[in-house]
Amino acid sequence: MMQTNAAVIPERHLHEECGVFGVYSQTSQDVASLAYYALYALQHRGQESAGIVVNDDGLFSSYRDVGLVSEVFPPERLAALGHGNIAVGHVRYGTTGSDNKRNVQPILVNHYKGRMALAHNGNLTNSRQLRLELESKGSIFHTTTDSEVIAYIIVQERLKSASIEEAVSAAMDRLVGAYSLVISSPSKLIAVRDPYGFRPLCMGRTKNGDVAFASESCGLDAIGARFERDILPGEIVVVDKSGVKSDTSHCGKTPKKLCVFEFIYFARPDSVIDGSSVHVARQRAGAFLALEHPVQADIVIGVPDSGLDAAMGYSRQSGIPYGMGFIKNKYIGRTFISPTQEMRENEVNIKLNPIRSVVEGKRVVLIDDSIVRGTTCRRTIELLRKAGAKEIHMRVSAPPFVAACYYGTDIDDPSKLIANNHTVDEIAQIIGVDSLGYLSLADVVKLADNTECGFCTACFGGGYPTAIPQDSGKDRFECKISERKKEAHA
């Protein structure tokens, strides 16, 4: 058996690629502010960079930079974007390409039929093949993202198509993987969801009749828009001066595979995705955990923030009282940097602090959304021990991570996942808990009871919906010259 102080591979929390937003207004107005507030609500989906493009009757103005939405867009910068009738916005955590400024979205493209702005959430599985094909024909790439590949494919198809929506439809025949897109042409706003529906995308209307699209319904709520519906997997929705049109010719071609981790961790609890409340889904996860892994305990607590709802569900199902076991420091942003190694090792102490009066002398059930590599949860558990917890029984509202994700979540090295290297009992010893239980694969697909969509559970060993790419690393477009030469001659 492993020792409690066994070496654990350093961990970073899971990230999802990004959030997208678009709005179409019949009249020129301050659409940049609408995009700003929506992106602020979607900030949890990406904290590396932010960007907004404003389209004023075909004249595009934009600003994009690394940082949080509030950092990138102070009032004077937002005002400089001016008024327009279309805006496209993006917040990013990159799963393909590094986090430097050149990879900030929306992507802007000039072509002989006009301009195009594109915001992408997801990850293509055939991006490398498509990029090599495009480069062999003379295409020059300015970023290292697969989002630019999508933009180039659409532009290539635009040369042969009568309209931008026809070009998008033709491009979908060539794209494989996850993509929820919001696109602005000179006169149209287009929303697209891949045929599998890996990533969410929804539509709403403001009281003025403006049509808006967002990764999550909380983005619509932020601008006072009424949620209307989710975009169907495979659907293309076009908005222009004549109204809203839908193309469903790509719908139903593949099984629906919404990423189940949207409900477990990624989405905000106040969002509704494909007909199901994220808040309710997480409570159901906790209830399932209580049925699968019961334990005698005095209190149930959750790790802020995504573990809280599941803890409530566990408490209700088990009858064990729910308590607020941690205070989270909400003033530590993306730019927080610990100045010394000792402080870096104690970063969890700065972000989370246990409430001693709640846990001291108690048998505690601790709920969290996942265990990736083990370091973070081990330090969290050490905090509880120091606060006087008598026993700690950890329950995880997701199955163990055992496989890489190729659809927009940064799990790309299965060998570093703790569940691939240790048994459940060994993991319990490594992280220092008295018992450990994961949600089963059979129950994780039951979380969203109102969602008709099937779920992708590939990262939990549920099988991949698409062919597995040979090279899927985040920096696959940033390899050395020698490596590129080997590929070219392969």
Same domain, 302 and 331: yes
| Domains held by the chain: number | 2
What pLDDT score was predicted for residue 23?
98
What pLDDT score was predicted for residue 456?
95
Structure-block tokens of residue 484 = 């590129």
What pLDDT score was predicted for residue 69?
97
Same domain, 224 and 313: no
18, 377, 453, 456: the catalytic one is: 18
Structure pTM? 0.89
Rounded to whole angstroms, the Cα distance separating 12 from 376 reads 8
State the DSSP H helix or E strand holding residue 228, giving kind and residue range, or none if neither. Answer: strand 226-230
What pLDDT score was predicted for residue 347?
66
Q: Is residue 33 part of a domain?
A: yes
What pLDDT score was predicted for residue 342?
55
**233 is in which domain, residue-wise?**
18-257
Question: What b/e sequence results for 239-258 when a residue is b if at least 16 CB atoms lie within 10 Å of its CB, and e otherwise?
Answer: bbeeeeeebeebbeebebbb
Check if 377 is active-site.
no
Q: Is residue 263 part of a domain?
A: no
What pLDDT score was predicted for residue 65?
96
* DSSP per position, 397-440: SSPPP-S---SSBS---GGG-HHHHS-HHHHHHHHT-SEEEEPP
Q: Is residue 357 part of a domain?
A: yes
Rounded to whole angstroms, the Cα distance separating 87 from 275 reads 26
State the DSSP H helix or E strand holding residue 219, giving kind and residue range, or none if neither. Answer: helix 217-221
Q: Which residues fall within 8 angstroms of residue 313, CB to CB, at 6 or more apart?
A: 282, 283, 284, 285, 286, 287, 288, 289, 290
What pLDDT score was predicted for residue 471?
64
Q: Is residue 272 part of a domain?
A: no
Closest C-alpha among 31, 1, 3, 407 to residue 197:
407
Q: Is residue 247 part of a domain?
A: yes
Same domain, 301 and 375: yes
What pLDDT score was predicted for residue 11?
42
Same domain, 231 and 320: no
Same domain, 172 and 299: no
What pLDDT score was predicted for residue 334?
45
What pLDDT score was predicted for residue 3?
36
Tell me the mean pLDDT per 10 residues along the chain, length 490.
34 64 95 98 94 97 96 97 98 65 92 92 94 86 91 94 96 97 98 97 97 98 98 98 98 95 94 96 98 98 94 98 92 52 59 94 97 88 96 97 90 86 96 98 91 88 90 51 46
Same domain, 313 and 426: yes
Same domain, 32 and 79: yes
Same domain, 292 and 250: no
Closest C-alpha among 417, 399, 415 to residue 458:
399
What pLDDT score was predicted for residue 484?
46
Assign residue 84 the CATH number of its domain.
Answer: 3.60.20.10
Q: Is residue 3 part of a domain?
A: no
Same domain, 197 and 291: no
Same domain, 234 and 333: no
Residue where a domain stops, chosen among 257, 289, 318: 257
One-letter amino acid at 359 equals V
What pLDDT score was predicted for residue 335?
41
Same domain, 85 and 223: yes
Assign residue 294 the CATH number of its domain.
Answer: 3.40.50.2020
Same domain, 173 and 317: no
Cis peptide bond N-terminal to 305, omega within 30? yes
What pLDDT score was predicted for residue 320?
98
